[in-house]
């Protein structure tokens, strides 16, 4: 997780630091990171579906589902000027979007943790998958919100 967080910082930080803020460039860079994660999730999910273990197949299902959804969101967000009523052409709009998602990610991780602790083998696998995906999004959205949290 530390490596993923560092990679996100390295890929996104230049857009946040370069002189005058360019919302389109920032959005493009951050969505490219999400697209990369989505593709990795899809590949990992497909590989895990070949395992005989109920646990790993459930993790694979979560990787496939989250990978597809994240990919759709990232591709859509790259083209859109507004999302959820927020102006993605401004630093404030991007910050609000990432901060709202950061808060939602906490709920994902809580749900995944609950399934991992109290579920049967299949539910534990789904919980682990949700926790993995939610953990990445928590770091991704949190880093972006932090980088964008300067004055508006």
pLDDT along the chain (152 residues), means of 10: 55 56 94 98 96 93 98 94 90 96 98 96 96 98 94 60
CA distance 121 to 84: 36
- Residue 83 has a pLDDT of 86
- Residue 43 has a pLDDT of 98
- Residue 92 has a pLDDT of 95
CA distance 10 to 135: 18
Q: What is the pTM of this model?
A: 0.86
What's the sign of the alpha-carbon dihedral 91, 108, 10, 75?
Answer: negative
- Residue 52 has a pLDDT of 82
- Residue 51 has a pLDDT of 85
- Residue 34 has a pLDDT of 98
- Residue 129 has a pLDDT of 97
């Amino acid at each position: 997780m530390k490596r993923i967080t560092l990679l996100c910082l390295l890929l996104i930080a230049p857009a946040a630091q370069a002189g005058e803020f360019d919302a389109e460039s920032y959005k493009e860079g951050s969505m490219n990171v999400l697209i990369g994660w989505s593709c990795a999730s899809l590949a990992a999910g497909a590989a895990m579906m070949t395992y005989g273990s109920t646990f790993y197949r459930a993790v694979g299902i979560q990787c496939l589902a989250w990978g597809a959804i994240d990919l759709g969101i990232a591709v859509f967000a790259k083209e859109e000027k507004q999302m959820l009523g927020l102006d993605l052409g401004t630093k404030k709009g991007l910050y609000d979007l990432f901060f709202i998602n950061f808060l939602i990610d906490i709920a994902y991780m809580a749900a995944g943790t609950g399934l991992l602790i109290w579920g049967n083998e299949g539910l534990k696998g789904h919980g682990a998958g949700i926790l993995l995906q939610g953990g990445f999004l928590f770091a991704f959205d949190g880093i972006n919100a932090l980088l964008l949290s300067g004055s508006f």
